[in-house]
Structure 1
Amino acid sequence: MRYLTAIIFFALSFIATGHAQIVIGKPSLGFSQACASPSFNTYHTTFAFSPDTALEASNQFTIELSDATGDFSSASIIYTSTPGEVTTSPATLTFSLPNTTSGESYKLRIKSTAPVASSTASVAFAAYYKIQNTPFSINNLIETGSYCSGGSYLLTIDNPGDSMNDSPLKYPSLSFNWFRVTGLTSSEFVASGNTLAVNTPGVYFAETNYGTCTSDSFSNRVTVGELETGVTTFDIKSSIEIPYCASEGPTTLTAINGSAYQWYINGTEIPGATNQMYSTNLEGTYSVNVDLGNCSTSASIVLENTDFTASINVDETNIIEPDETLEVIVETTAINPEFVWYLNDTPITGASTDTFKASQKGNYKVEVKQTSGCVSIITFEFEVDKMVDLFPDVENIPNVISPNGDGENDTWVIPISYVSGTTSEVIIMSSQGEIVFKTDDYQNNWPQEPLELNGINPVYYYIITTANKEKKQGSITVIK
């Protein structure tokens, strides 16, 4: 009998252990609403379970998040503990919200894996992930809009997608609410959506829909009114403050929304300028006609830039006498100008005024910089070459030349008594005795073609025979 009793007790103990269960209490929230963002996304929930001795070593607790209506049919698991991590009751778990969270009636529930159990749902709470939480622009920052009688004006959220405007349209999970201003600190909800068709005069703005969570994701305000025919009801928006610095790039002019556009400069139609925006870096009076459907409107803007003008008094190519200088003068309207002069891309020491005298052959450049207001630079380039005297009055026949293109001693220049017009015969031979040049009308122009200069400076020989048969002989060493 005692043996049978022991068997029955063991069996009952096995059955109880093999079917161990726990009860998980309703999770308690450590917050009333969850307004998460990229800079803050940490929340806590506390729950109790019993008995804690029923937990197996492999058990994991998970936190499930319902949809925005509290439905768990497609719940998201937002936290999973490691096996055996949580062993005592009550327990507090820390979690973060998905960046697509947006709604007023989310709920949480806690589940275990070993043994399998689930809590009841938590109380409902508002939860939003504020993925975009900075002001944004609508209507291209144009402060006004107009519609024809019986029509409407379309307000849209701008989406330039650049660092200057973190448009909420870059985040597909977001939705938007539109409001009409009713007082200094009050407004009324109008509609939801990415755009708003306005047919009632008023001041309008948009907010990203973060429900009861406060945020800084709101737009500028736009005043919309019904158009009176022929009355200008908007200002053209310039992307750059006027007066502007044209050298820094064009400005973009923007008109209000319409069905068709035509831009003009100084009263003349600009061919092809038929979009809402027009880019330019030219001064002038710009105007635009906007077709609103059943009526039209227009506006104008005067563009002025603070760039400067400059000019120099020389040509791109200049030839001077060997002992002559070229005086270069810069005239400019620059404010507090600075001048930097270059010869062959090397700054010329001491050259820092609006005047420079060029005496050397080469490629010159001057940079004129306006240092106040619209800081910019205008560069002028010019070349100076020296006139070559083909028949200088030299006393002796030279025995060295250096044909390197520097304008000095590039050709074999001999006394006037042996050159063109004297009928003197000039013969030049290589060191092997080969005649490489022969003429009776020498122009002081040998060598006419580039010579092959190897490691050793070659030596040539000349014979000059005058009209009365007198001869002059010698050598010519060609150096690099």
Structure 2
Amino acid sequence: MAKTNLPQFVLSVCSFFSVVCIGTMNAQIVIGTPNLEFSQACANESFNTFGTTFMFSPETGVDPSNQFIVELSDDTGDFSNPSEVFTSNPGSIIESPAIVYFSIPTTTTGEGYKIRIKSTNPEAISTASQSFPAYYKLQDSPFTINNMIANASFCPGGSYLLTIDNPGTGDNDSPLNYPSLTYNWYKEITSTTFALVAQTPTLTVSQEGIYFVETNYGSCTSNSFSNRVTVTAATSGEVVDATINSSLGNPFCAANGPTTLSTINGNSHTWFKDGIIIPGATSQTYITDISGLYSVKVDFGSCEASGSLELETGDFTSSIDVDENNLLETGDSLTITISSDAINPEFTWLLDEEEIPNASQNTFTATNFGTYRVLVTQTSGCIMTIEHEFHIEELYNPFPEVAHIPNLISPNGDGINDTWILPTQYVSGTNTEVVIISAQGETVMRTNDYFNNWPEDVLTSNEVYYYYITPINEQPKKGFISIIK
């Protein structure tokens, strides 16, 4: 056996492990902690772009197919179920340091978010960034409370209810249209300082002061704030306002169930609808799914509060300008028009349960016979659909206009040229005598009241018949009728 030179063997082993080590290093990269280009991520519809820089090493360790991904944690900094907010194109980032820009999801709301960087080839993940506040401001404009009434009062020993208007007057963008939002109610201390008093959808006030509410976007400042309302205590015997709040807003969608009307608490309550007392409605709340003018009186003993609300269901009306059953001659058409006060309506037309292509307006011209349905859907506010159904059947005209007496018919039951159709001056109502005689001389029909109905049965052989048509005070018309199959 050949002897192995020990120094040469050691050199070979070292060379082998050097290759392995180099190969391993080339298949791995290290990604540094991402550096934020912002202190807080405050996004809205018009702005949602945030940058981060990161380093990776070695640059040669990145495969040409590699993609860098930015992952966003939840609002506590946990990455158990991260959101991918950026993914680079394959091979587009090959130099370090790199800067990328991402957008936060519309559901983002919290103070403790983090991001991290991940690569796909080779696989690597950075440590998490420092935490930062992040909010997507779904509603970011001023809104109104208390119907923009600047002053309100409450009875001694009672309270006043402040509510966010929905929808309010004018172009008010009520935050109640965004169910995920929460709120911060404040009481002014000075003209520049104020104290947080509640984080509820409404505020019950039992202390005098100036109050307002903001949408809760944490550390992110926003334009989503209300007008200010000055609340004072009434003097004994004074009548004050009692706000009525609808739990589903106003208008509300009655098709989804009733809304709960609520007001301030007192010794007793009396509810009215359209000025008439509602029997048995004596609690702080009243449930209804009917529109109308609702009012309430709240007794505090030394003071009485009252309020009213014009409640709207948000439903819409729709009508159709044709009858349920309609007759139409072949070749004619019928135009149908739908009238509706729906908000942003959509129209779907169907014939015999098949949707009619390109029929999406409130008018439609029908030319086919069958059962039609049109669905009118209100797409904003109260989402609901009203359906109209109508039928179009063929109008059978036994006396169509023809120019000449035909001498050829094909009574085979196919619905085409099956009977002998005469000009209208010879048919029923003209007292014209019509006689048909077979080739054997047999009279097969004689009438002074012809209905274009001969032969009434399908004939089984090719024959020739002769006719005599005798109008009143005119010479007879004579000819033959050839029967073909």
- How far apart in 2 are the matches of 1:289 and 1:27? 59
The reply to whether residue 68 of structure 1 matches residue 67 of structure 2 is no
Which residue of 2 is the match for residue 122 of structure 1? 129
Which residue of 1 is the match for residue 331 of structure 2? none
- Name the CA shift for 1:431/1:279 in 2 (closer, same or farther; >3 Å): closer
- How far apart in 2 are the matches of 1:17 and 1:287? 80
Which residue of 2 is the match for residue 99 of structure 1? 106
- How far apart in 2 are the matches of 1:272 and 1:279? 14
Residue type at the aligned position of 1:186: T
The reply to whether residue 156 of structure 1 matches residue 159 of structure 2 is no
The reply to whether residue 136 of structure 1 matches residue 143 of structure 2 is yes
Which residue of 1 is the match for residue 23 of structure 2? 17
Per-residue CA deviation, residues 383-404 of structure 1 (Å, 9 max, x unaligned), is: xxxxxxxxxxxxxxxxxxxxxx
Asked if 2 retains the 8 angstrom alpha-carbon contact of 1:43 and 1:96, the reply is yes
C-alpha deviation, 1:50, in angstroms: 1.0
Shifted more, 256-265 versus 92-101: the winner is 256-265
- Name the CA shift for 1:100/1:172 in 2 (closer, same or farther; >3 Å): same
- Name the CA shift for 1:131/1:81 in 2 (closer, same or farther; >3 Å): same
Per-residue CA deviation, residues 63-101 of structure 1 (Å, 9 max, x unaligned), is: 122233333344322112233221110111110011122
- How far apart in 2 are the matches of 1:151 and 1:227? 10
- How far apart in 1 are the matches of 2:273 and 2:79? 60
Per-residue CA deviation, residues 234-283 of structure 1 (Å, 9 max, x unaligned), is: 4999xxxxxxxxxxxxxxxxx99446455699xxx545598899988xxx
Which residue of 1 is the match for residue 51 of structure 2? 44
Asked if 1 retains the 8 angstrom alpha-carbon contact of 2:67 and 2:120, the reply is yes
SS in 1 for 2:60: helix
The reply to whether residue 109 of structure 1 matches residue 116 of structure 2 is yes
Asked if 1 retains the 8 angstrom alpha-carbon contact of 2:238 and 2:304, the reply is no
The reply to whether residue 297 of structure 1 matches residue 291 of structure 2 is no
The TM-score, its normalising length taken from structure 2, stands at: 0.50
- Name the CA shift for 1:459/1:223 in 2 (closer, same or farther; >3 Å): farther
Per-residue CA deviation, residues 305-359 of structure 1 (Å, 9 max, x unaligned), is: xxxxxxxxxxxxxxxxxxxxxxxxxxxxxxxxxxxxxxxxxxxxxxxxxxxxxxx
Asked if 1 retains the 8 angstrom alpha-carbon contact of 2:156 and 2:233, the reply is yes
- How far apart in 2 are the matches of 1:121 and 1:11? 34
The TM-score, its normalising length taken from structure 1, stands at: 0.50
C-alpha deviation, 1:209, in angstroms: 1.2
Asked if 2 retains the 8 angstrom alpha-carbon contact of 1:33 and 1:127, the reply is yes
Asked if 2 retains the 8 angstrom alpha-carbon contact of 1:143 and 1:234, the reply is no
C-alpha deviation, 1:178, in angstroms: 0.5
Per-residue CA deviation, residues 95-145 of structure 1 (Å, 9 max, x unaligned), is: 001112222332222122333322222233222211101122223444444
168, 171, 175: which one aligns with 2:175: 168
Which residue of 2 is the match for residue 215 of structure 1? 222
- How far apart in 1 are the matches of 2:13 and 2:242? 95
- Name the CA shift for 1:47/1:289 in 2 (closer, same or farther; >3 Å): closer
Residue type at the aligned position of 2:54: F
- Name the CA shift for 1:16/1:287 in 2 (closer, same or farther; >3 Å): closer
SS in 2 for 1:64: strand
C-alpha deviation, 1:218, in angstroms: 0.8
- How far apart in 2 are the matches of 1:127 and 1:159? 27
Which residue of 1 is the match for residue 89 of structure 2? 82
5+ residue gaps, structure 2, are 245-260, 309-429, 433-448, 450-470, 474-485
C-alpha deviation, 1:182, in angstroms: 2.3
Which residue of 2 is the match for residue 197 of structure 1? 204
- How far apart in 2 are the matches of 1:161 and 1:81? 45
- How far apart in 2 are the matches of 1:276 and 1:220? 29
Larger Rg: 1
- How far apart in 2 are the matches of 1:99 and 1:85? 27
Residue type at the aligned position of 1:213: C
C-alpha deviation, 1:38, in angstroms: 0.7
C-alpha deviation, 1:205, in angstroms: 0.8
Per-residue CA deviation, residues 182-229 of structure 1 (Å, 9 max, x unaligned), is: 233332221212222222111211001122322111112223233434
Residue correspondences, number? 291
The 5-angstrom pairing of residues 370-449 of structure 1 reads none
206, 209, 220: which one aligns with 2:213: 206
C-alpha deviation, 1:287, in angstroms: 11
- How far apart in 2 are the matches of 1:6 and 1:264? 99
Which residue of 1 is the match for residue 240 of structure 2? 233
The 5-angstrom pairing of residues 277-356 of structure 1 reads 290-291=297-298, 295-298=303-306
Which residue of 2 is the match for residue 427 of structure 1? none
- How far apart in 1 are the matches of 2:431 and 2:16? 123
Asked if 1 retains the 8 angstrom alpha-carbon contact of 2:70 and 2:86, the reply is yes
Asked if 2 retains the 8 angstrom alpha-carbon contact of 1:106 and 1:124, the reply is yes
- Name the CA shift for 1:222/1:26 in 2 (closer, same or farther; >3 Å): same
- How far apart in 2 are the matches of 1:29 and 1:271? 63
